[in-house]
Chains A and B, each alone.
Chain A
Amino acid sequence: MTSTTHYVAATGVFHLTFLLVLLPTVGAAVLLLGGRRTNPWGHLLGCAMPILSFVIGVIEFVALIGRDGGQSRQLDQHLWSWVPAGSFHANVNLLLDPLSLVFVLLITGVGSLIHVYSVGYMEHDPDRRRFFGELNLFVAAMLLLVLADNYLVLYVGWEGVGLASYLLIGFWSHKPSAAVAAKKAFLVNRVGDVGLSLAIMLMFTTFGTFAFDGIFNGAASGHAHSGTMTAIGLLLLLGACGKSAQAPLQSWLLDAMEGPTPVSALIHAATMVTAGVYLVARSAAIYDVAPHARVAVEVVGAVTLVMGAIIGCAYDDIKKVLAASTMSQIGYMMLAVGIGPGAYAIGILHLLTHGFFKANMFLSAGSVMHGNNDEVNMRRYGGLRKVMPVTFACFSFGYLAIIGMIPFSGFFSKDKIIEAALDKGGFEGGFLGTIAIVGAGLTAFYMTRLMAMTFFGVKRWPKDVHPHDAPRVMLIPMAILAFGSLVAGYLLILGGSLQHFLTPAVGGSVEVGAHTISPVVLSLITLAVVAGGVTSAWYLVARKPIPAEPPTYVTPATKAARASLYGDAFNEGVFMRPGAYLTRALVFFDNRGVDGLVNGLAALVGGTSARFRRLQTGFVRSYALSMLAGALALTATLVLVRVG
């Protein structure tokens, strides 16, 4: 990247950019602060805000297409100077460029459909108004994240997304499991946040600014030390892993299914988990000069895509299977943005198609649960295709898209990622490409298993359950998304349209290298692997009766997959235990250590100790002793540093 980054000031219709964020913010404020008097119309306002944002997004999209290519499509709206004093200054600016606009359309478009669906899904929940307020907050925070023109404002949105997800995952806080899941999501995300905030500080000390253009130009100029750039890249990756549920910070995503299903759809399709991919794609200029960090991104993506697929094979909870599939699909996106120049647009392409088919499948799964008394265990479903035909049809579109069946959207995006990985050439390309193909086979396996257990076979639901399709307000958004799952992929790659559109933001989509295998042959190979996955799942799962309880005698591999490949054990060992031990040790020292020391010393310097003891408060003696010890240590350090 030799070209410099320069943003032009927003004009005309682009002055509306701030409304994109403001509208859902106002919605959230009104609904959360307005109290019960907003109950009758709260959900309508909640739906109106993202829809209006979407309309503005479409208008701006049309206007942006009307402009010349290149830099004139990167528009910066200055709102106010946030911290302009002294050596550090940051503006609250919004950047509207092809990359952020694509995200805006995804977030508000899919987000609006999920809002509409929630009107039906949450109809009988007494807290429906609060739910819509928090959904609006989620959308607003995510929009701020993608529209920021500097890392500090991005961080504000980033934290806002974390807060909103915490509130929504724990929405049914009367369930202890929901409260625990919310806490877990929050804590794991904090680990990622530490990475992002350190990256921002490091960028600031290296380049003296938070602004994207300043940092990217600084990175491109090559003055910064390469070790520093690698460190920044790795820290950004840590942040991205937390939000996007990538290894090793993936464990929160499975538990996050405790939230209401529309929330899962929103987290998985339109917001939150896409933030990490956005961060890496946006920071393309940094990864361009940090090849080691780029390899780390690829590895994280490849590892997670296989991990997610393996975990997806073992769960019986329909939402958890879908959650595992999200991990795996985000892994594909990470892999793509890790491959680098030329593949960024492919990663974003998969993100968009995934946004359609994953939202579709989550909403359909919500419809399945809705018709089955909120049952999530697929062993209690079976044969649902006859009683829920519309849901079955919608879910099938999502299913065909995720396994990459031609001509559904997933085929176009996943195929291109596999192609880009192989084209990298050498051991690296071969390795990553093989993993991507294996992942496609595994995806076909566990998704077919899900379809077979849910919609085919014999009825396994209890007598008192009467499965039925959901009301129309839920079915229409599902149908729109199902249609998107079918056509989005083809429309987006038509004549390389998306890649051309994204060029100003993430660089041109040059071919990565020579084709190692011709694209047509590669597509056939992939389809063959997918067909293998489907067949084996059919052979192993659908042909046999499915027991009501999961079998207990299973291979070690299944056991590991059921335990989410020990993600929780990893977290506990690496993050939780050391902290808990340190706290415990310090508390122990505070309670016993200092007193014990006093008691021990009593034998040696009885007189002094006894005098301490006569201070009847019981604790002052130990406080004073620790002060004395501290004073000795402090002065000794000072003197020793001087002498040494």
Chain B
Amino acid sequence: MSDFHSPSIAYTALAPMLCIGAAAIVGVLIDAFVPRALRWSAQIAAALLGLVGALIAVAVLAGTHTVTADTALSIDGPTLFLQGTIAVLGIGSVLLVADRSPALDGGAFAAQAASTPGSADERAGIQAGRIQTEVFPLLMFAVLGMMIFPASNDLLVLFVSLEVLSLPLYLLCGLARRRRLLSQEAAVKYFLLGAFSSAFFLYGLALLYGYAGTVSLSGIQAATLTGQHNDTLLFLGLGLLSVGMLFKIGAAPFHNWVPDVYHGAPTPITAFMASATKVAAFGALLRVFYVSFAGLGWEWRPAAWGVAILTMVVGSLFAVTQTDVKRMLAYSSVAHAGFILVGVIALNRSGLSGSLFYLLTYSLTTVGAFGVLTLVRDPDGEATHLSRWAGLGRRSPVIGSVFALFLLALAGIPLTSGFTGKFAVFSAGVSGGATPLVIVGVITSAIAAFFYIRVIVMMFFAEPVADGPIVATPGGATAASIAMAVAVTIVLGVFPQPILDMANHAAPFYH
């Protein structure tokens, strides 16, 4: 090992990630050096510049197929599609985070997250008007991790990027301005369980290295094809590795953290987690299973079927009994993870492109739905209890209709993006020989439609509650974020062709 070669790195191909990384570091510097009065706007500018830059870089790189950094990273169609999606989601989330308009009582984030809730320190800080802006660099580091995660072409990079995206998220969960104890509890829960799942992942990684003698995904694939190695190591490793990734996508039975953490975290961060994290984690999951373990489909499919069925059933059935809109959306995100797993299990080209498309549609609708949640407010913060939403659509028809649109899209009603996505994934599932799974998917979708429609009915047909929540007039940033989600939801429902084409051309993986 004495002769160390410095690997050649195609920096151009890494431009999207470099943009985000630069924005994150600039964010740290802004916190250190820029005068207090300018910090907030400077942070927003840096974050948005980085994200837009990344999006432009993705557009310029379209069509690139390259493996760089000594096979550690693969910049190919799926990577760029997912990186573009994550950049768009990042923009939507940053806009939600950035809204500090008075109507939202100064935003969703604690002025000083480090002070103990209810302490003299906290009061003094609020009186002095000190506001920290650490949320932006943290968010950008998380985005950086998410950008690398689906591009990782070996297990070590996969693990490192998993941690890069996770650690800032743990902190972000604890930054809520209101109900701070709940928020901090969510952060600790997420951290403990996340660490637990990382341990599984790492152990699986070690076993797979023991099996193949390499951590590169292509190397592991080559080893599975020869079939001359110890199978027990392979399947134990694969199982444990999957646990780490299934945890991040929120698949049952590794989903328990989802409702609690989504509920406790500040809503803009919940929007970010429910969308971008899921996209990145599915990207990595798809790459690992399509590149390294595609040849072993017959062996891992039974377990994957079990996970997918359990996830769809648990997600949609539990959502039915929820009385809190935020928790209901959390369980719905579990159910959607199950639907996308159908595309993963299909293990064919249309399964890959269908999953990519589904991820885009689902995640943007989700950002919009959580964006609406930030607007429906009581005197003491967001009003998320379902009973408080009664008659909301009558008093605020625009917000009511927008939320109804998102719910219909999540339910997969035709002419919304959700239908196109679901159809792409399910038809890939049928052609991939997973018809029973698709039947479960259709039935659970029918169950899921019930609780989405129930909210619409509450909003439009129930009598408004007397002292009901106020729908805040959104600041420009929140309005922009929600408008983007509305536009995508409708356009991808009625004219999905260009993006479907893109998803189709993105497949397959290059390694």
Known contacts: A159-B414, A627-B254. The answer to whether A193 contacts B446 by CB under 8 A is yes
Contact assessment for A619 and B189 in the assembled complex, using a CB-CB cutoff below 8 Å: yes
Known contacts: A170-B461, A627-B243. The answer to whether A201 contacts B426 by CB under 8 A is yes
Residues in B neighbouring A627, C-beta threshold 8 A: 193, 196-197, 243, 247, 253-254, 256
Contact assessment for A86 and B500 in the assembled complex, using a CB-CB cutoff below 8 Å: yes
Task: Supply 24 A–B pairs (Cβ within 8 Å), ascending by A.
Answer: A82-B494, A83-B423, A85-B496, A156-B414, A190-B450, A191-B446, A194-B443, A194-B446, A201-B426, A201-B427, A204-B430, A582-B313, A587-B318, A617-B188, A619-B189, A627-B197, A630-B253, A631-B240, A637-B302, A637-B303, A638-B239, A638-B299, A641-B302, A642-B231
Known contacts: A193-B446, A201-B438. The answer to whether A631 contacts B461 by CB under 8 A is no
> Which chain A residues in 151-173 approach chain B with CB under 8 Å?
152, 155-156, 159, 163, 170, 173
Residue of chain B at shortest CB distance from A638: B235
Contact assessment for A86 and B446 in the assembled complex, using a CB-CB cutoff below 8 Å: no
User: Out of A86, A159, A634, which one reaches B303, CB within 8 Å?
Assistant: A634
Contact assessment for B321 and A583 in the assembled complex, using a CB-CB cutoff below 8 Å: yes
User: Out of A193, A202, A586, A623, which one reaches B189, CB within 8 Å?
Assistant: A623
Residues in A neighbouring B350, C-beta threshold 8 A: 86-88
Cβ of A81 to closest chain B Cβ, rounded Å: 6
Residue of chain A at shortest CB distance from B498: A85
Using CB atoms and an 8 Å cutoff, list the residues of chain B in contact with chain A.
Answer: 185, 188-189, 192-193, 196-197, 200, 231-232, 235-236, 238-240, 242-243, 246-247, 252-254, 256-257, 260, 299-300, 302-303, 306-307, 313-314, 317-318, 320-321, 350, 353, 397, 413-415, 420, 423-424, 426-427, 430-431, 435, 438-439, 442-443, 446-447, 449-450, 453, 457, 461-463, 494-497, 500-501, 503-504
Contact assessment for B193 and A623 in the assembled complex, using a CB-CB cutoff below 8 Å: yes
Residues in B neighbouring A638, C-beta threshold 8 A: 235-236, 238-239, 299-300, 303
> Which chain A residues in 182-201 approach chain B with CB under 8 Å?
183, 186-187, 190-191, 193-194, 197-198, 201
Contact assessment for B235 and A586 in the assembled complex, using a CB-CB cutoff below 8 Å: no
Cβ of A601 to closest chain B Cβ, rounded Å: 17
Q: What's the Cα separation between A192 and B130 when bound, in Å?
A: 59
> Which chain A residues in 51-92 approach chain B with CB under 8 Å?
80-88
Contact assessment for A159 and B413 in the assembled complex, using a CB-CB cutoff below 8 Å: yes
A560 within 8 A of B: no
A394 within 8 A of B: no
Residue of chain B at shortest CB distance from A589: B314
> Which chain A residues in 563-592 approach chain B with CB under 8 Å?
579, 582-583, 586-587, 590
A622 within 8 A of B: yes
Q: What's the Cα separation between A622 and B257 when bound, in Å?
A: 10
Residues in A neighbouring B415, C-beta threshold 8 A: 156
A626 within 8 A of B: yes
Q: What's the Cα separation between A363 and B246 when bound, in Å?
A: 58
Residue of chain B at shortest CB distance from A156: B414
Q: Is the interface of B mostly helix, strand, loop or mixed?
A: helix
A604 within 8 A of B: no
Contact assessment for B320 and A642 in the assembled complex, using a CB-CB cutoff below 8 Å: no
Considering residues A82, A84, A152, which has the most beta carbons from chain B within 10 angstroms of its beta carbon? Answer: A82
Cβ of A582 to closest chain B Cβ, rounded Å: 6
Cβ of A126 to closest chain B Cβ, rounded Å: 13
A179 within 8 A of B: yes
Residues in B neighbouring A152, C-beta threshold 8 A: 414
Q: 8 closest Cβ contacts across the A-B interface?
A: A635-B239, A630-B253, A85-B500, A623-B256, A637-B303, A173-B461, A638-B235, A156-B414
Contact assessment for A626 and B260 in the assembled complex, using a CB-CB cutoff below 8 Å: no
Residues in B neighbouring A642, C-beta threshold 8 A: 231, 235, 299
Contact assessment for B196 and A624 in the assembled complex, using a CB-CB cutoff below 8 Å: yes
Contact assessment for A641 and B497 in the assembled complex, using a CB-CB cutoff below 8 Å: no
A521 within 8 A of B: no
Residues in B neighbouring A204, C-beta threshold 8 A: 427, 430
Residues in A neighbouring B260, C-beta threshold 8 A: 619
> Which chain A residues in 585-644 approach chain B with CB under 8 Å?
586-587, 590, 615, 617, 619-620, 622-624, 626-627, 629-631, 633-635, 637-639, 641-642
A87-B431, A617-B185 known; 16 new pairs, CB 8 Å cut-off, are A83-B423, A85-B500, A88-B424, A155-B414, A179-B457, A194-B443, A198-B442, A201-B438, A582-B313, A586-B318, A619-B256, A623-B189, A627-B256, A631-B239, A633-B253, A639-B239
Q: What's the Cα separation between A202 and B435 when bound, in Å?
A: 9
Q: What's the Cα separation between A631 and B239 when bound, in Å?
A: 7
Cβ of A171 to closest chain B Cβ, rounded Å: 9
Number of interface residues of A (CB under 8 A): 58
Known contacts: A86-B350, A201-B427. The answer to whether A634 contacts B243 by CB under 8 A is yes
Q: What's the Cα separation between A582 and B299 when bound, in Å?
A: 30
Residues in A neighbouring B438, C-beta threshold 8 A: 201
Known contacts: A86-B504, A620-B192, A641-B299. The answer to whether A631 contacts B243 by CB under 8 A is yes
Q: What's the Cα separation between A170 and B456 when bound, in Å?
A: 13
Cβ of B475 to closest chain A Cβ, rounded Å: 25
User: Out of B318, B397, B501, which one reaches A85, CB within 8 Å?
Assistant: B501
Contact assessment for A641 and B461 in the assembled complex, using a CB-CB cutoff below 8 Å: no
Contact assessment for A179 and B461 in the assembled complex, using a CB-CB cutoff below 8 Å: yes
Q: What's the Cα separation between A615 and B195 when bound, in Å?
A: 14
Contact assessment for A630 and B254 in the assembled complex, using a CB-CB cutoff below 8 Å: yes
Considering residues A163, A635, A638, which has the most beta carbons from chain B within 10 angstroms of its beta carbon? Answer: A638
Q: What's the Cα separation between A615 and B189 when bound, in Å?
A: 9
Q: What's the Cα separation between A619 and B186 when bound, in Å?
A: 11
Residues in B neighbouring A615, C-beta threshold 8 A: 192
Known contacts: A617-B189, A630-B243. The answer to whether A623 contacts B257 by CB under 8 A is yes
Cβ of B310 to closest chain A Cβ, rounded Å: 9
Residues in B neighbouring A83, C-beta threshold 8 A: 420, 423, 496-497, 500
Residues in A neighbouring B430, C-beta threshold 8 A: 201-202, 204-205
Q: What's the Cα separation between A156 and B397 when bound, in Å?
A: 24
Residue of chain A at shortest CB distance from B247: A627
Residues in B neighbouring A622, C-beta threshold 8 A: 256
Q: What's the Cα separation between A555 and B230 when bound, in Å?
A: 75
Cβ of A50 to closest chain B Cβ, rounded Å: 22
Contact assessment for A634 and B193 in the assembled complex, using a CB-CB cutoff below 8 Å: no
Residues in A neighbouring B232, C-beta threshold 8 A: 639
Q: What's the Cα separation between A86 and B416 when bound, in Å?
A: 19
Residues in A neighbouring B435, C-beta threshold 8 A: 205
Residue of chain A at shortest CB distance from B207: A635
Residues in A neighbouring B321, C-beta threshold 8 A: 583, 587
Q: What's the Cα separation between A310 and B239 when bound, in Å?
A: 59
Known contacts: A190-B446, A193-B446. The answer to whether A624 contacts B192 by CB under 8 A is yes
Known contacts: A85-B497, A198-B439, A582-B317. The answer to whether A624 contacts B235 by CB under 8 A is no
